Structure 1
């Protein structure tokens, strides 16, 4: 409760992060993780066969990887930090306290990765002087591919921790956080998926780069598709392993995550959509091995796009199913620690919110106070009229009949039991009533909440910030 509230109502905080993060993950998996080993493989093939065509193609593919990863990839990576820190600074602060040394190492690896890709790409033209120079140059590519994977390996540990911290609550050490129950299965899944995505993506580019040399294209298709097919088999195993460690309460959230609350019956058909997508990718690989170089380039593009769509949906589902938590069993999606709930329910959240504009609720300021409560407890997931807008939710629930604040309050009080993915209401009864009054007022006047809450009225000296209470040590304060 110590941070101002940032909110853009038309897009919402969830979608703001999702657009940036999914785009970054797609680039990271398909290019930084999956494509670089293939570039090195093609460079090695050229050395082994003494054929400069392999080297020329590898350099052209690396140019694509270099441009994409150092522009859009780098910007979206920084964008994740920027948007996440704006939307949920308490969660980011907690993660930094747990994984400080992990992130410290990750930033060293990342800087090394940037340096290596510059060195690998810019030194390529001078590496063709001799076979010895070429082999030395290839070592930069091997190190670059390894460092790119290490970056992902560290971040995946943090993503797994946010889903299921495991015994970290008891041990509270960096190693307990890193080696959480979700870590190794998710790392295996993402690694194999990235290799398959990189194979299809590089084959799509390679097809167009070899349009005048059918014999060479056949060799290229055979080389890349054998590599990709091997990783596809590992992907199936890793996917099963990963799905087997997802906690039961997260599995129960999947119907809502995949579809919408109004169309959960589509879940039964969704698995067939996934199976059809994987079968299509498998068919492209099998046909490439049976008729190397004879497939149309559009088939490789389609396979790469299918994998991108599947990864994007996976990220969407993964982010949703960990709800109601942003950090499993430690912090709810609203940015409030589980351990702080007893205090906030006793005193109310307004008294412990540094930037709240209202401290005491009276009969003449209920709507204003309710709006304050809404922005403190709801805006990390909901908007007023934008994406995942609360007014549209209320229209679906209550239609055109007059919205009754008492009915809405009764629903808010029990919403966590009815919909587990919704965090429990954290405030006291007065704040619950005020929030219900504000939500009922949206039927007639639904003004969007925009901007950053940067001012507040002073708290009484005897009231401390809520993050200093609770049985679990605070991760956002020294």
Structure 2
């Protein structure tokens, strides 16, 4: 409403964020959260046993973690901010206002985390020369692992808030937002999952590092390392099972009703049960691999560890997708719909119309001549956060499934849109007035014969704000024509 519409039609806004976010979460959970404690554990084991093999293994692992987290991890973390701010600036703005001090602390912790991992990695060789220096160096590793977890702990509070704000809806305090109903269960779930993922990644790397080492000493060390790590990971796997049950039991009932579509998508919703069992079988395979590793250390094949790692990565990616989907129709539970419009603003928009309050929009009054153009503008404001025209989650393909090749009737589409939220709870209610609903329906019907992709403001330019938009209850907006680049006058 208050910002120009950014949109990439072939990939869609949801997938743009999802690809970046899932890659970031995999790196963060498996390497920063799950693997760093193991590196510190192996370093401690080396100090305790005076066996340099432990120290060498820990250093090789840390080198991989250092490279991945400071490149891919850091870039995708920034990418989440960049893409989310472009796609749904209203939601990001609301979250910043609620969690300003929480994010401020998280930023300080993140800066400390980056400093610690650089110090931990770069000082490793020198620290090995002196026992006192080595003990101080180990403390660096413990602090690094702790700070990495604290970063996640703060972000998880925000993710939980977006699903269920809890008492914040009435109290409007930072503490009520942080300690939302989803926070502790999700934190337990993610912590234990990250530790299991980190354990399996390192089990795979241990096998990879030792694939050409066949001396008795090397085989004995591999068994010791795998045995220690298997015991560590097995404990976290048990906690993960209990945390998963806890987390599932606090998810609101309406969200659970969306699980079939969330797991299998609308195209394959009938496969929901089959896909659910595939996930369960995958978890059983991971559990059996852990049992074999625990019982027969050093005997499990590298391929089995690799498959377990891939399964865990895939499950985490699917979990993130499901979590994002079942939150709908909201992007911030009970506060803001997925289209970036606050629940409390709906009566105003129903009365005045959506286009009257969309600042960067060049249509205020709908006429027979501009109906399709107006419908396109309504589509931009109300639909493009989730839908494209011809790309991923394309609206044209969905209309094709609903109405096939017979002529698409705007009146029938209007009737569907009026009751869309009741038929599909995960779809937000239509936010505009009756004229805008009819204009949107006319535009959607026109896509049957004229399916041009929808281009965002990054391609079409930014419309100049006018006096109608700037004088509404959304607040006064000064003339920005002299400072905006790419403005369509």
> Under TM normalisation by the shorter chain, which class is it?
over 0.9
The aligned counterpart of 2:313 is: 308
Instruction: Provide the C-alpha distance between the structure 1 equivalents of 2:385 and 2:82, rounded to a whole number of angstroms.
Output: 15
Which of 283, 296, 299 lines up with 1:291 in the alignment?
296
1:238 aligns with 2:243: yes
Provide, for residues 118-160 of structure 1, a one-character-per-residue CA deviation record: whole Å limited to 9, x for no partner. 0000000001112222111000000000000000000000000
Instruction: Provide the C-alpha distance between the structure 2 equivalents of 1:378 and 1:419, rounded to a whole number of angstroms.
Output: 15
CA contact (8 A) 1:2 1:465 kept: no
The aligned counterpart of 1:464 is: 472
The aligned counterpart of 1:474 is: none
CA-CA distance at 1:274 after TM superposition: 2.0
1:408 aligns with 2:413: yes
Q: Secondary structure at the match of 2:339?
A: coil
Question: Cα RMSD between the aligned structures?
Answer: 1.2
> When the two structures are superposed, what TM-score results if normalisation uses the length of structure 2?
0.94
1:25 aligns with 2:35: no
Q: Secondary structure at the match of 2:463?
A: coil
Provide, for residues 404-459 of structure 1, a one-character-per-residue CA deviation record: whole Å limited to 9, x for no partner. 01110111111001000000000000000000000000000000011315114513
CA contact (8 A) 1:288 1:294 kept: yes
1:278 aligns with 2:283: yes
CA-CA distance at 1:58 after TM superposition: 0.3
CA contact (8 A) 1:221 1:293 kept: yes
RCO comparison, higher one (Cα < 8 Å, 6+): 1
CA contact (8 A) 2:336 2:342 kept: yes
Provide, for residues 260-291 of structure 1, a one-character-per-residue CA deviation record: whole Å limited to 9, x for no partner. 22432322223321221111111111111221
1:454 aligns with 2:462: yes
The aligned counterpart of 1:153 is: 153
Instruction: Provide the C-alpha distance between the structure 2 equivalents of 1:150 and 1:174, rounded to a whole number of angstroms.
Output: 17
Instruction: Provide the C-alpha distance between the structure 2 equivalents of 1:261 and 1:107, rounded to a whole number of angstroms.
Output: 38
Task: Please list, as runs of the form range in 1=range in 2, the aligned pairs for 1:330-341 lying within 5 A after superposition.
Answer: 330-341=335-346
Provide, for residues 98-118 of structure 1, a one-character-per-residue CA deviation record: whole Å limited to 9, x for no partner. 000000000000000000000
Provide, for residues 330-356 of structure 1, a one-character-per-residue CA deviation record: whole Å limited to 9, x for no partner. 000000000000000000011111101
CA-CA distance at 1:203 after TM superposition: 1.0
The aligned counterpart of 1:250 is: 255
Deviates most, 414-423 or 208-217 = 208-217
CA contact (8 A) 2:371 2:439 kept: yes
CA contact (8 A) 1:354 1:459 kept: no
CA contact (8 A) 2:28 2:69 kept: yes
Relative distance call for 1:256 and 1:115 in structure 2 (3 A) is: same
Instruction: Provide the C-alpha distance between the structure 2 equivalents of 1:411 and 1:346, rounded to a whole number of angstroms.
Output: 21
Aligned length: 468
Unmatched runs of 5 consecutive residues or more in structure 2: 477-489
The aligned counterpart of 2:486 is: none
1:222 aligns with 2:227: yes
Instruction: Provide the C-alpha distance between the structure 1 equivalents of 2:465 and 2:39, rounded to a whole number of angstroms.
Output: 58
CA contact (8 A) 1:344 1:466 kept: no
Q: Secondary structure at the match of 1:326?
A: strand
Instruction: Provide the C-alpha distance between the structure 2 equivalents of 1:460 and 1:310, rounded to a whole number of angstroms.
Output: 49
> When the two structures are superposed, what TM-score results if normalisation uses the length of structure 1?
0.96
Instruction: Provide the C-alpha distance between the structure 1 equivalents of 2:261 and 2:474, rounded to a whole number of angstroms.
Output: 32
